[in-house]
Amino acid sequence: ETNEVEIGSEPAISVSPTPSETQLAEPSESPSPTESVSETPIPLSPVEFRAYALGDLADMRKDVADAKKRINDGGFARLLGNVLELTFNVGQLQSITPSEDIAEEWNSKLAKLEAAVDKFSEGVGENSVSATRSDLDEILAAISTLEKFVKTVD
């Protein structure tokens, strides 16, 4: 379908509607009976686990330091950006699949970090500066706990 549009004294322009995503989508293929789809993620080796976890925790430390700087500089809009970064970091850590023997302890410690990030996120803009700093210190404490744990994994 084409529509002609006249703009001022310019000649008519033909405009074709953009195809929708459903028009462009390929038919979905279902796996053949011989293909197996893994529902459970494969646990990382201890070396991979340490590398990923410590890398993500180091990123979080930088984000907390940046958030503290924003508080000191009075950069509220940037502080909101730090909230998003910290939340993203928690998601990264949640995507790491530890081996079964450490999963329960990892998930327990990770839940404490997530709770600290949530508390900080909910309080930004509502809490006093000192309360916000305290929330960031709680995040750092949870990061330290996770780092210590991860370093014991072998």
79-131 tens-digit pLDDT:
888 999 999 999 999 999 999 999 999 999 999 999 999 999 998 878 788 89
**Amino acid at residue number 47:** V
Q: How far is CA 144 from CA 21, 76, 93, 141, 147, in A?
A: 46, 26, 14, 5, 5
Distance CA 39, CA 36 (A): 9
Distance CA 113, CA 63 (A): 14
In this predicted structure, what is the pLDDT of residue 37?
52
In this predicted structure, what is the pLDDT of residue 124?
87
Q: Which long-range contacts (CB under 8 A, 24 or more apart) does 121-130 make?
A: 121/83, 121/86, 121/87, 124/79, 124/80, 124/83, 125/76, 125/80, 129/71
pTM of the model: 0.70
8 A C-beta contact, residue 143 and residue 56: no
Confidence tier at 74 by pLDDT (50, 70, 90): confident
In this predicted structure, what is the pLDDT of residue 97?
92
